[in-house]
Amino acid sequence: MIFPVVMAGQANSVVPAGEERVPAHFFAEAMIESRFQSVIRCLDHPMFAAPTVVTCEANQGLAAQQMCAVGVKGSLLVEPGLSKSAAALAAVALRFRDVPDALLLIMPASHSCASEGRLLQTLDAALPAAKQGGIVAVATRDHGPYGRLRTLSRRRGQEPMQALYSAGVGGDEADPDVLWNSGIYLVRAGSLLAAIKRHAPRILHATKAAVAGIAQTEIVRRLVPDAYGKVKQESFEAAVLGRVEIVDSVQLDHNRSIWEDWIQDMANEKAEAGAARRRAKRQRAA
């Protein structure tokens, strides 16, 4: 059994005039699911336990509503304000401290979960390295904000490979050894906790106070605002992954065709254009 953790927090406090404070992964249209709904639907499989969704207090109602709309049950871990993914994952790891061998699938709510079968195949390839204690980062050819992975060994299909992580998002796109980190990780709870303890001990120490007193059986677990407010706002990639440097990696789209690349590019452009139209409409209404 794999325990999914969906990162659906509020990353940015800067919101243009007329905008609602709703992250893009919650945007939905009539008959069209949000990215968040696509992700949690993708996780509705016997391989997975009920997901834990990390979100902010302002959007917890929307997250619960969208989960209910697609018939997926799970729990919420509520951050009082902006997303602090390093601290939020520390809170998740602390929840599983009594079951260190539990496998966690960490996944951003903004991920384009186009193929459940492809995700399952990728996780199947990642399992051996994760069970041995590695942090397995899922790589992709699509650009993203989670940094780059330079492979250190020859790629053979979906076999795990070692990769050098860097936080930058620029680089030589033609370099065949460079892939993009998707923000998806498969890791044992004990390994995650150990990595945070080693590379971000202050974040872990401060987070312990924020989770104190939270019942493990609660469907909605709210991190203590006063304690969590003292935790540094830092991403998991910056606080931990960049200091680990060398990680295990598997490629999600290793066998994706040129046609699928084109379809993905068109979908991304359509989503961006739709978001721009919604912003313009709200600004006119304001």
Query: Element (H or E) spanning 187, and its range?
Result: strand 178-188
How high is the pLDDT of residue 188? 96
Residues 89 and 238: their CA atoms lie apart, in Å, by 13
- Please tell me what DSSP assigns to residue 48: B
Q: How confident is the model at residue 152 (pLDDT cuts 50, 70, 90)?
A: confident
CATH topology of domain 2-136+183-232: Spore Coat Polysaccharide Biosynthesis Protein SpsA; Chain A (3.90.550)
pLDDT in tens, 4-27: 999 998 765 544 444 456 778 888
Highest mean pLDDT among 169-183, 211-225, 245-259: 211-225
CB atoms within 10 A of CB 170: 8
* pTM flag (> 0.95): no
How high is the pLDDT of residue 77? 92
User: Residue 223 in contact with residue 148, Cβ under 8 Å?
Assistant: no
The first and second tokens of residue 206, run together, are 């401060």
How high is the pLDDT of residue 115? 63
User: Residue 160 in contact with residue 252, Cβ under 8 Å?
Assistant: no
pLDDT in tens, 187-197: 999 999 999 99
How high is the pLDDT of residue 18? 44
How high is the pLDDT of residue 16? 44
Residue closest to 150 by CA, chosen among 160, 164, 166: 164
Query: Element (H or E) spanning 207, and its range?
Result: helix 201-211
The first and second tokens of residue 3, run together, are 């325990």
Q: How confident is the model at residue 272 (pLDDT cuts 50, 70, 90)?
A: low
Q: In Å, what is the CA distance from 84 to each residue of 32, 206, 271? A: 29, 12, 26
Could you tell me which residue, 95 or 172, shows the higher pLDDT? 95
Q: Cβ contacts of residue 143 below 8 Å, gap of 6+?
A: 169, 180
> Residue 105: pLDDT above 60?
yes
Q: Which residue has the tokens 């990680």?
A: 247
- What residue ranges do the domains of the chain occupy? 2-136+183-232, 256-286
Residues 223 and 133: their CA atoms lie apart, in Å, by 28
Q: Which residue has the tokens 């998991």?
A: 236
